Structures are given as structure tokens and as C-alpha cells.
Amino acid sequence: MTQNEILKQYFGYDSFRKGQEEIINSILVQRDILAIMPTGAGKSICYQIPALMLPGITIVVSPLISLMQDQVRALNDAGIHAAYINSTLSEGQIKKALSLAVKGQYKIIYVAPERLGSWDFLEFAKNTKISMVTVDEAHCISQWGQDFRPSYLKIVDFIEELPYRPIVSAFTATATSEVKDDIQCVLKLQHPDVFVRGFDRENLYYQVENTRHKTEFVIDYMEKHKNESGIIYCATRKNVDELYGLLAQKGYAVAKYHAGMSTEDRNTNQEDFIYDRVSVIIATNAFGMGIDKSNVRYVIHYNMPQSMESYYQEAGRAGRDGETAQCILLFSMQDVMINKHLLESKTVVEMEASDMELIKQRDHKRLQIMENYCRTTECLRNYILNYFGETTAKPCDNCGNCHREYLEIDHTEHAKWIINCVVETKGRYGIKIVTGTLHGANRARLKELHTTEYKSYGKLHDMSETEIDSLIHQMIADGYLYQTQEKYSVLKIGDISALKDGSKKVVLRTYQEKEPIDRKARKQRKTDKLTKAGFELFECLRQLRLTIAREEAMPPYIIFSDKTLIDMCVKTPSNRDEMMNVNGVGANKFDKYGQRFLDEIEKYVNSNNVVLSLELDAE
């Protein structure tokens, strides 16, 4: 079979995506390769297809057990014999798997890096034809990166133990130039072909909301996006627990995940999410490694993460199926403070003080870059791409900032009166008293405290108390004021030198949407091709998929992706040939599930004589 035939037969796709074919061709002419491709670009196929075409076995080294299991399940479901060997198997099971492998039962074997050094695995490898060693998440080999895994260093030893050298292919989604060099050197790649596929993920819509009302935002968002799968990341376990409690109490089907929970609870909740039993999971950054649920429609960051690398990776868990998805970051000044505090209190054992200092500096720089992302009025996508070293020409017209008109108003004069007022309070009162005083409110409490006798009393009469409140928060964000952390927090003066010498201004930023975000973001959604009836059919097919998933104890997205179901609604196939024409339906999948989906479609079409797709209409 040719690679195109394999793509169709096993994976059900008609054509390769950008970059995939070149990588496969390189491997097939026996070259080492290093491929850097963003999440969701389709790395797996790049080694799975050659694995089927090469004479011997391909060993895939992967750091994440859950990912391994998922991949192997998906491969077997597609009719490709594969196995994994990791710590979840007993010694007996490993022996059995290896003995089947020697007999040529599997074309692809996933293995945890720790296994490579074990005696029985080496014995097996030396006595079998290993055509290729694939290193997934190859950046784990670099000590420069955040995810360094010492066990990855064993890979080279393993390769060198083999009687002849197999092709070595390395894949990663994140690699700065240092990490890239590291992978090539440490893995001892031989004149590799290096492929770098841009970082841009066109289907992701980026948005930053500068808000102090995060919970309200989340609830409103969830109301508008019912039934959609989403991840909400929080900075701390406490945040997770609180938000989870609140949403669960309001009756939303949510799950939570953080490192403070028992392994059992974590696994259950993770599965609930993967199997679409709950649509939303609230989690710390402990969640997500190895999750390749493809139909995550949104990732909301409840707090700002510590670096652009983390953000890109976490937000990137949205839209792996290539469908439109939203990545929203809720920003408040408090996030910066929390993060600074977390960095300051971070201790690394056994490290020289000078190294420690370097790491701190680097962390603070990363944090600053992240904060700038939250504050920029420029195109958010370009900001991200530029950070990862790509040059960009024009704004993307597909992010929150591109859809907003920002307006900046100079409030420096008002700010000076706020400072005067806080000085007059001698730092004894909170925000409410200060805003009331400046506005000139007629309240008994103000008279009681004698703030009505202040020089600043009523000086900002032309602003509403809400506006004064916003301005005060901006000044807190700028560091001119700060709030104490006691129960009754009071307002105090911060560093105001830049205001005094006139080198800085206090600016309040407002904006107008050029077009409602939801309309714009949803514009290119595949489901928009469907009419209301088409959408109903889509829901029926989803239900059928869920039923099958339960029968087979398999995540729904492994059976068919949302994209494939939508394509079914658009094409409404009525026989095997037509069904095989649907994106994502391979021969094996058809034999397993095809008829049931055909039946469901027929049932729906017969009982509803309606137009299902706008696209066909237009043709």
C-alpha cells in the first residue's frame, strides 16, 4: 500500500496536512528526522504511517502513560496492531507482550523511557528487527527545557546497544533553538532532516479579559456554551476547589482535578471528562499532560499562567480536531502578585546560589512577558508567534484584540486627587470611603469619619463612584497605591515618584467591540454549515457515538471525531461508498461502526424531510 492508501484505509483521511508528507518521505528514505510541529498538527501519523511501511518494528518512546494507552487504543481500533509496555503492566503481561512482539504480532510498540534499560526489553530488541525508534515529546531530553526527564538520556544508550542502527525520528511541539540543538546532539541524530512547522494554530481564537468579575464571566460563558467541552485552569488548588464548589452548586456538570486529590479521584474525574460524562473540568496545571481529547472547544485561564510556554501549551489543548475553539485568559492584577509570590517562595534543592539567582531572573522575565501579553492592545496571535520567533505581517483579524477598538483616556489629574485623598486618610480607610469622599457623597459614615471636611471631598464630583473605583484599581495595578491584606483592607500610598516627576501618566483603557465576539468566532465553525435540522442530526450521531463508546469502553473521540460526524451530516451518506467518502472514516472503522451510523442517518432523513446543510444548498 502507498502512504496515501494507508492514510485512507486506516485513518480515513483523504489528504495529508501541511508538512506530514515530507516527513514521511524523509523517513522512508532512511533518514533521521527532527520535526517540530504545534499540538494538533498531526504528528502521530508522521511516524505511524512509515511504521506500517518499514519492514520491522517501530519503537515509540513516550513519557506519558495515559497518552500511550490512548494511542494504542486508537491504533487497534483503526485496525493497526500495536502494544504498549509500561509500569501499568505486570511482569507476566510484559513477557507475554514481548513474546508476541518477537513473533511479529505488532508493528508499533510504545514504551516508557525507563523500560529501555531493562534486561528483557533489550534482549527482545536485540533479537528482533527494529526499523525505527521514534522519540515523542523529544524536548524532554533537554536540560534547558521545563520538562527535562533524566530517563530520556537512556534512549541513546539503548540505540547504541542494538546490533545495527535504526532510523531515529524525534517529534516535539515546543522547542526553542537551544532545545532543538540539544535534541539533535543528545539523541545523536545523524544528519537529520529538520522540519519546523509554524506555531500558528489558525482555528484558535485568543482573547484576554481584564476583569475583576471572573466568576460571573465564567458562568455567563458556560451558559452560552452549554454542552461544549471546556477546560478551566486555575493557579492554585484553592481556586480550583472554590470555583468547582460554586459551579457544582449552581448545577453545572463539572469535574475538578489537582495534585492535592487522591490518584483515584483524579483518574475518575479525568475519565468523566474524556468520556464526555461532564463537559467541563476545572483544574490546576497538573491536568492535561497526555490528554489528547480532540473536541475541547474552549480553554479558559482563570488566572494568568507563569510563562508564555505554559500558556501556549495549556491553551493549545483546545481544538485539536482543527475546529474553531476559544482560548480566553482572565486577567487581574492580583494574578501578577500571586505569581510573583509563587516565584519568590520557590525553592530548588541542591542548587548554587548564583544558579538560583539566574533561574529567578529568568522566571521573572517570563512572567513579565506573560503580563505584557495580558496588557497589549495589539494582535494577540502575533504577540504569541513573535515570542516563539516567527515574524508576522499583519494583524490576524481572528483574536479578541483585533476585534476591539481600544480607547485610552488620560486620568493623571484625577489620579493626583486620589493620592491626596489617601494621604488625608492617613492610610486608615478602604476603597469605599475614598471613592465616596472624592465623589462628594452625602453619607452619614463619611461625616462620622470627618472625611467630608477633607480638601479632596467632592473634588471628583464629575466621575461616578464606579469610575473612581476603576481608576483606583488601575492605580493599584500601576503600583501607585496598594491594599493591605487584612480582613478590612485599607488603601495606602505606593511608589508615586514617577507621577510626581511627571514621567508617567495614569491611563484608563476602555474598548468597544467592533463585532460581537461570539458571532465572529463562531463564524467559521463547521457546525455553521448545518441547518437547524442538520444540527439535530449531529446531536443524534453524537448520542450514538456515546452509546458505542460505553459499549466499547472507549473515549468517544477515538471512535469518530466531531469533525467526522459533522461531515456525515453534510454528506448524509446512504451506502458504504458514500460513507467511506466522509472525512475520518477508514475501512476498518467502517466495518466496525459504519452501518450503525448509516442506519441512524437514514432513520433521521426519512422522518425529517429537510435540508441539512447550507453548503449543499449553495452548490
Residue 17 binding target from ligand ADP, Zn ion, none, CB below 5 to 8 Å by type? ligand ADP
Residue 564 binding target from ligand ADP, Zn ion, none, CB below 5 to 8 Å by type? none
Burial (CB < 10 A; 0-12, 13-18, 19+), residue 281, is buried
| Contact string 254-293 vs ligand ADP (x = CB under 6 A) | --------------------------------------x-
Q: Nearest Cα to 326, choosing from 285, 297, 283?
A: 297
Cell 458504504, residue?
576
Is 382 among the residues that bind ligand ADP (CB under 6 A)?
Answer: no
Residue 570 binding target from ligand ADP, Zn ion, none, CB below 5 to 8 Å by type? none
Is 537 among the residues that bind Zn ion (CB under 5 A)?
Answer: no
Q: With contact defined as beta carbons under 8 Å apart, do 273 and 255 qualify?
A: yes
Is 63 among the residues that bind ligand ADP (CB under 6 A)?
Answer: no
Least distance in angstroms from the C-beta of 42 to ligand ADP: 3
Mark the segment that binds ligand ADP (CB under 6 A) among 9-17, 421-429, 518-526, 565-573. 9-17
Of 80-119, binders to Zn ion (CB under 5 A) are: none
Q: With contact defined as beta carbons under 8 Å apart, do 329 and 55 qualify?
A: no
Q: Phi and psi at residue 200, in whole multiples of 5°?
A: -70, 130
Handedness of CA 534, 540, 546, 547 (dihedral sign): negative
Q: With contact defined as beta carbons under 8 Å apart, do 527 and 538 qualify?
A: yes
Of 543-602, binders to ligand ADP (CB under 6 A) are: 561
Among 112, 300, 379, 385, which residue sits at the site for Zn ion (rule: CB under 5 A)? 379
Q: How far apart are CA 557 and CA 345, in angstroms?
A: 41
Q: Say whether 503 sits in a helix, a strand or coil.
A: coil
Is 613 among the residues that bind ligand ADP (CB under 6 A)?
Answer: no
Is 125 among the residues that bind Zn ion (CB under 5 A)?
Answer: no
Strands 193-196 and 33-36: parallel
Q: Nearest Cα to 472, choosing from 506, 442, 496?
A: 506
Q: How far apart are CA 417 and CA 518, in angstroms?
A: 40
Cell numbers standing for residue 324 = 474553531
By beta-carbon proximity to ligand ADP, the closer residue of 145 and 436 is: 145
Among 396, 506, 541, 544, which residue sits at the site for Zn ion (rule: CB under 5 A)? 396
**Total binding residues for Zn ion by CB under 5 A?**
6
**Total binding residues for ligand ADP by CB under 6 A?**
17
Least distance in angstroms from the C-beta of 107 to ligand ADP: 17
Among 27, 33, 36, 45, which residue sits at the site for ligand ADP (rule: CB under 6 A)? 45
Least distance in angstroms from the C-beta of 39 to ligand ADP: 4
Q: Phi and psi at residue 194, in whole multiples of 5°?
A: -110, 130
Of 292-331, binders to ligand ADP (CB under 6 A) are: 292, 294, 320-321
Side chain identity at residue 156, one-letter code: V
Strands 404-410 and 507-513: antiparallel
Nearest residue to the partner ligand ADP, using Cβ: 42
Among 9, 26, 39, 313, which residue sits at the site for ligand ADP (rule: CB under 6 A)? 39
Residue 381 binding target from ligand ADP, Zn ion, none, CB below 5 to 8 Å by type? Zn ion
Is 404 among the residues that bind Zn ion (CB under 5 A)?
Answer: no
Handedness of CA 585, 69, 201, 566 (dihedral sign): positive
Mark the segment that binds Zn ion (CB under 5 A) among 1-9, 341-349, 393-401, 475-483. 393-401
By beta-carbon proximity to ligand ADP, the closer residue of 42 and 230 is: 42
Among 26, 32, 43, 274, which residue sits at the site for ligand ADP (rule: CB under 6 A)? 43
By beta-carbon proximity to ligand ADP, the closer residue of 388 and 482 is: 388
- DSSP assignment of 60-128, as one string? EE-S-HHHHHHHHHHHHHTT--EEEESTTS-HHHHHHHHHHHHTT--SEEEE-GGGGGSHHHHHHHHTS
Is 77 among the residues that bind ligand ADP (CB under 6 A)?
Answer: no
- Residues near ligand ADP, by CB under 6 A: 13, 16-17, 20, 37, 39-45, 292, 294, 320-321, 561
